[in-house]
A and B are shown apart, each in its own frame.
Chain A
Amino acid sequence: MKKFVKYIAIFLFPIILLGVFFEVLIRKIPNDYEYKKNYLDHHAKEVNILFLGSSHVYYGIDPKYIKSSFNASYISQSFDYDLEILKKYKDQWTNLKYIVIPVDYFSFYGRLENSPEAWRAKNYRIYYDINTDHKIFNGTEMLSNKFDINLSRLLNHYVRGENDISCSNLGWGSSYKAINHKDLMISGATAAARHTAKDNLQYSTNLHLLDEIIAFAEHKHIKVVLFTSPAYKSYVSHLSKNQLNTTLSTIKKLNTTHSTVKYFNLLQDSSFREQDFYDGDHLNEFGAKKLSLKMNVLLGKI
């Protein structure tokens, strides 16, 4: 038995050592999560308008068009992470007037942990110090990400001198360029199918989380602005009417029961045209500018 344990330890030692070494190296690569956390650590007190939510806001709202705002949304960021970000800086939102959150077709029906993007959960734990899930391995880069992806991140940063930051200094995701747009018809239908829920198991949890966000805001005398993001016709036409109507009626109810909540439905807003979309449900840089300016006007009217 001793011999067995000894040889196994000798065999595993270089693997573990290499793993730890890679883990340290990967964590030193600058990335969006770390950037946003550092920004809020230093500037949360100055923020008047905070944007939360998923990729629709991340790529759709450029805060440079909205004074004193910051985009703290990210890809697949669900209500539970929005709430945790708010709670994390609860004593620092001294100038915060508006929390803007997208409530889209899928918002009540999924959470990051149950999505194909679940691997991103580790970023909140490692870089944001937010720990909503308790999976042991989500605390490490090496064990929660594919090895080849980690390897290419290491090569990109340490050999080619690149970093993982893809957002602007105010948190907008600038990588969805019009020049690289996808087929709007195909991507719209695919995204709609992906966003159509198989069940409504997450509905009540998500509603409860949104209620908590509203309660948090009310306590701090902050207004909550909900909106449904603009999408291309190919996306809208493939949505399940039942899921969409449930989502819209839930928002309507929230809007009427809370005086601090405002809602704007931009899903089929005619000012967004084909050339504003990167794919069926995401805006490109032109669409983002249009939405940001529109949001600025809407917020000014509240």
Chain B
Amino acid sequence: MLFNSFSFAAFLPIVFILYWVLGKERLRSQNILLLGASYFFYACWDWRFMFLLIFSTLLDYFTGLKMMESKNNRAKKFWFWLSISINLGFLGVFKYYNFFADSFADAIANFGLQVNPWTLKVILPVGISFYTFHGLSYVIDIYKNRISAEKNFIDYSLFVSFFPLLVAGPIERATHLLPQIKKERSFDYSRAIDGLRQILWGLFKKIVIADQCANYANMIFNHSGEYSGSTLLLGAILFAFQIYGDFSGYSDIALGTARLFGIELLRNFAYPYFSRDIAEFWRRWHISLSTWFRDYLYIPLGGSKGGTWAKVRNTFIIFLVSGFWHGANWTFIIWGLLNALYIMPSIIFNTNRSNLDTVAQGKTFPSLKELAAIILTFGLTVFAWIFFRANSVQHAFNIISTIGSESFFIIPQILPIKLFLLLALFILIEWNGRMEQYAIAKFALSWPKPVRWGIYYGLVLVIFFFAGAEQQFIYFQF
């Protein structure tokens, strides 16, 4: 069931009404209802993978309890490593086995030996990277004595499987979500309206921006050999907007949906394309994953302690793992390493925290220096996205070499003027709302209701106008 489907448009109101009417002031009933709805939501993709999700939940729930009950460190360590290895084992088998098998065969082939690797014909269970990371953060936090194990199985299961975040995040933390699940929740009108507004904006970003950009980006990337350098660059830029609209749109719908149930999820995007350097970009892009890697990998590796070279090493490891997390393909690994290279100067010269505020705070326009920094950062990001989107490393290099050729200076073969206008409007709205959690959070709130509603109707109309075949969200494959 996709967020941008009519099935979800029917599912959400039913769960919402049951939740607030039947589950009124009965926390346990609300949580059971949400858990049932979440499992139904997940089963709509493939009910067989429900068993994997439930097994993963049971594993972390019991190992969490066992760690808490352990009288000595050795026993605690045993349960901890049991959970970690099984979690990563599943991730490895479903997501990475074929990659390693094929890469091994390719490497052997370089020495003149031919082997036919035994590859698994399995489908990647949707959301496995996300719910595995949920579970991992939970057991690590217990092991490090940051939290106590959750005794209520329903509450813990809901923390792992809450349907707005189940398949593509945000990657939640037990310290943030579990207390909300355990706390009485009462209906708040303005919060619910805010949630709906965020869902509306998320749908706009997904259906109007991402899916329209996808039409052109797919055409250009899938037939890259037929296009000029300027067209290929345009394709890469459109892909940059596609992936942003797609993933941040998804996150907005997830956050808005959770808010309808009185639950606040972690923010995942904060206008990353207005960043002035790559360090700022990574503080604003897929925030829940970046902070996960920071807290559970970068800091345990030593973080910023231990001098510049330790920082450089740890940063490379983080970006390498981040690339690998996205998928079992060398293109993602190179994308990760490129970002590591981009961020290196600020790590070495200790300037990675120089842009902590929002750009042009309190001003209407950025300064020329800020604008140049934003364009440079966006350009670097677009270059890295070429690897992310390409089918193979060779494909990416072919695209880059065509961009670098003379054909860069001819007018692009594809000029989607209507889409350019839409993108310009989108950038303006995002710029205007950059201080808020999402771009239209405060937009027109002080205006008369008929005008405000007119704007919402306009958004609904545009969404319906552009809505076509339901497009999968890019991050579902991760």
Contact = CB atoms under 8 A, between A and B. Distances in A.
Contacts of A14: 457
A179 interface: no
B189 A147 contact: no
Contact of A136 (B10, B189, B460, B469): B10
Interface string B6-19: 11001000000000
A136 B44 CA distance: 14
B10 to A, nearest CB: 7
A147 B192 CA distance: 28
Contact of B464 (A3, A11, A136, A147): A147
Contact of B192 (A4, A11, A116): A4
A146 B467 contact: yes
A151 B196 CA distance: 27
B45 interface: no
Contacts of A15: 457, 460
B423 to A, nearest CB: 19
Interface string A145-157: 0111001000000
A47 interface: no
Contacts, number: 33
Given A11-B453, A11-B456, A137-B6, A147 B465 contact: yes
Contacts of A147: 464-467
A146 B468 contact: yes
B187 interface: yes
Nearest to B191: A4
A159 interface: no
Interface string A1-26: 10110011001001100000000000
A213 to B, nearest CB: 30
A148 B469 contact: no
B20 interface: yes
* Residue among A4, A8, A148, A151 with the highest chain B CB neighbour number at 10 A: A4
Contacts of B460: 15
A197 interface: no
Nearest to A119: B469
A11 B196 CA distance: 12
A244 to B, nearest CB: 24
A143 interface: yes
Contacts of A119: 469
Contacts of B467: 146-147
B250 to A, nearest CB: 21
A3 B468 contact: no
B187 A1 contact: yes
B469 A4 contact: no
Contact of A1 (B20, B456, B465): B20
B193 interface: yes
B219 to A, nearest CB: 14
Given A4-B192, A11-B453, A148 B465 contact: yes
A4 B189 contact: yes
Interface in B424-469: 453, 456-457, 460, 464-469
Given A15-B460, A137-B6, A143-B6, A4 B193 contact: yes
A7 B281 CA distance: 38
Given A15-B460, A136-B10, A137-B6, A3 B465 contact: no
Contacts of B196: 8
Contacts of B457: 14-15
Interface string B181-203: 00000010100110010000000
Contacts of A1: 20, 187, 189
Interface string A39-57: 0000000000000000000
B22 to A, nearest CB: 12
Interface in B171-222: 187, 189, 192-193, 196
Contacts of B469: 116, 119, 146
Contacts of A137: 6-7
B456 A3 contact: no
Interface in A154-187: none
Given A15-B460, A137-B6, A4 B453 contact: no
B155 to A, nearest CB: 24
A148 B468 CA distance: 9
A11 B197 CA distance: 13
A11 B450 CA distance: 11
26 contacts: A1-B20, A1-B187, A1-B189, A3-B189, A4-B187, A4-B192, A7-B193, A8-B196, A11-B453, A11-B456, A14-B457, A15-B460, A116-B469, A119-B469, A136-B6, A136-B7, A136-B10, A137-B6, A143-B6, A146-B467, A146-B469, A147-B464, A147-B465, A148-B465, A148-B466, A151-B465
A-B pairs, top 8 by smallest CB distance, nearest first, are A147-B464, A146-B468, A137-B6, A1-B187, A147-B465, A4-B192, A4-B189, A143-B6
Given A8-B196, A15-B457, A146-B467, 6 more contacts: A4-B193, A7-B193, A119-B469, A137-B6, A147-B465, A151-B465
Interface of A: 1, 3-4, 7-8, 11, 14-15, 116, 119, 136-137, 143, 146-148, 151
